[in-house]
Copies of this chain bind each other. A is one copy, B any other.
């Protein structure tokens, strides 16, 4: 993948277009127009429209994967702490790779191409990881699930992935604040979410300077 001058502009324009109008509806012409070049010129950077989508999505996908691995290796923390990390991580990626991460979420399922199989598989791993985490919490007594772990995982992931419809980055601190609110909600629900906020604060937190 070349990285000449306009490349990052094109990536950004493509991300925005894909986000706003969807892959199918976005045209290379409209993407080019955002950068000030003709549609044909985009082929100096990418081999096809789909490759452009892959390029947009690649960075958040890789980041997500890396964080996921990091989380899997974090065996020392409690389940709650690890869940908090997961949520913070997601919000961080949504923020850092905005709006590319949302393009990723939106097109994960829809795009048929075999080039996307890799990402679909990643998503399966992601779901499995969340499910395993919740199951572990249920086994250890930290959690008391109202359902199969799979259903609970789907609920939590839905809460997070739906953010594509309302989230916009507001800075590192505000974003982490938001993540922690969602975490508290997931942990204590509507009834005790407020209480969990305190609990959330009492958990060991390296991001806040704890050991």
- Interface of A (DSSP majority class): helix
User: Interface segment, A53-61, A66-74, A189-197?
Assistant: A189-197
A190-B145 in contact (CB<8A): yes
Interface band, chain A: 35 or more
Interface centre among A152, A156, A189, by most chain B C-beta atoms within 10 angstroms, is: A189
Number of copies: 4
Contact with B along A173-189 (1 / 0, CB 8 A): 00000101110111111
Q: In the complex, what residue of chain B is closest to A155 when comparing beta carbons?
A: B159
Partner of A181, one of B22, B147, B200: B147
Compute how far the CA of A33 lies from the CA of B156 in the bound complex, rounded to whole angstroms.
Answer: 38
Give 24 pairs: A residue, B residue, CB < 8 Å, sorted on A.
A21-B110, A22-B24, A109-B165, A143-B190, A144-B192, A144-B195, A146-B197, A147-B182, A147-B185, A147-B193, A151-B178, A151-B181, A151-B182, A154-B163, A154-B166, A156-B190, A158-B161, A158-B163, A161-B162, A185-B189, A187-B190, A187-B191, A188-B189, A189-B191
